[in-house]
Amino acid sequence: MEGETCGIRVSGMQFAYDDQPSLFVDFSLNISPGSRCLLVGANGSGKTTLLKILAGKHMVGGRDVVRVLNSSAFHDTHLVCSGDLSYLGGSWTKTVGSAGEVPLQGDFSAEHMIFGVEGVDPIRRENLIELLDIDLEWRMHKVSDGQRRRVQICMGLLHPFQVLLLDEVTVDLDVVARMDLLDFFKEECEQRGATIVYATHIFDGLETWATDLAYIQSGDLKRTEKLSELPELKSYSNLLSVVESWLRSEIKIEKKKPDNPLIKVQKTSPFDASPFRSSRHMAYYR
C-alpha cells in the first residue's frame, strides 16, 4: 500500500507508560488524507497519549506500527523538521524544526518567537499574524493565556503542514479567534488535502466542521464514523449530546461490572481516593 498516500495509519499498536498496565493493546486506526477527525473520549481515555504517539514523541513498536504520511512517526525525523507534521499540545512549548522544544514563556517578544522560525513563506506568516490578531510587540512573560496560545498556534502553522495534531489548544481562545481558526483549518484541508486530528471536549460549531469522529474508551477505539453518516446525529440535536450519551453509557457499564475496583475500595476505605480516575467517577460511588 506504500504507493498510496496515507494520512495516518496505526496497526496493532501496544503502548504502556513505565510500570503501568497497557493503555493501548492491539490498537489500529486509519485516517485518510484531507480528513478533519475529532478524537473524543472521557478524561484519561488516551487521547493525548495517542496524539503524542502520532507526533513521534513516544517510540512504539517497529517502523510499520505508526505511519504518518507513509513514514514512521517516531523514526523519520524529517516529518517534524520539515513542518509536514505539526503537533500543538497543552504545554507552553513549541517544537520548531531541528531546534526542538522552544519555551513560550519568557522576556522576549512575539515577533522574536514567530520570526525565529526559519524557512517560512512571508505571505503565509503575515496572513497568520492577521488571522490570529497577534501584536508582534507582546512580551511573552506578560501576555494572557489566550494571547500566548495564539503565538503558539501561529508558530505551529507557519509551515504548510500536511498533518496537524491538535490537543485541545483552542480552549483558551475567544469565540471569534476559535471560529476563524476553524475556518482556516477547513480551507487548509480542502485546498491542500491536509489532515487534522483534533482532540477536544468542546463541540460548538464542530458538527459541520469535522468530517470524521474517532471515539476512544480506556485505550480502545470504540467507534470511527463519518460525521455525515453518524446515526445518532439524527435523534440528538447536536454533537455534544451524542458524545455525552456515549460517555454516560460508558460510566453506567463501568458501574455494573462486578469486579469494579472502585466499589471494592469504597467499601474498605471511603477516604482512599487513589483508584478513582476523576472526581466525577468518585461522585458516582458516594
Ligand X SMILES: Nc1ncnc2c1ncn2[C@@H]1O[C@H](COP(=O)(O)OP(=O)(O)OP(=O)(O)O)[C@@H](O)[C@H]1O
Residues engaged in binding ligand X (CB under 6 A): 17, 20, 23, 41, 43-49
3-state secondary structure 66-119: EEECCEECCCCCHHHHCCCEEEECCCCEEEEHHHEEEECCCCCEHHHHHHCCCC
Q: Give 117 or 247: the residue with its C-beta nearer to ligand X.
A: 247
Minimum distance, C-beta of residue 125 to ligand X, in the bound complex (Å): 31
Q: Which residue, 7 or 89, is less far from ligand X as judged by CB?
A: 89
Instruction: State the minimum distance, in angstroms, from the CB of residue 187 to ligand X.
Output: 27
Tell me whether residue 46 or residue 156 sits nearer to ligand X (CB atom): 46
User: In angstroms, what is the minimal distance from the CB of 216 to ligand X?
Assistant: 7
Q: How far is the CB of 53 from ligand X (least distance, A)?
A: 9
- In the complex with ligand X, the residue whose CB is nearer, 186 or 201, is 201
Min dist. Cβ of residue 218 to ligand X (A): 8
Cα Dmax for the chain: 64
Q: Which is nearer to ligand X, 54 or 69 (CB)?
A: 54
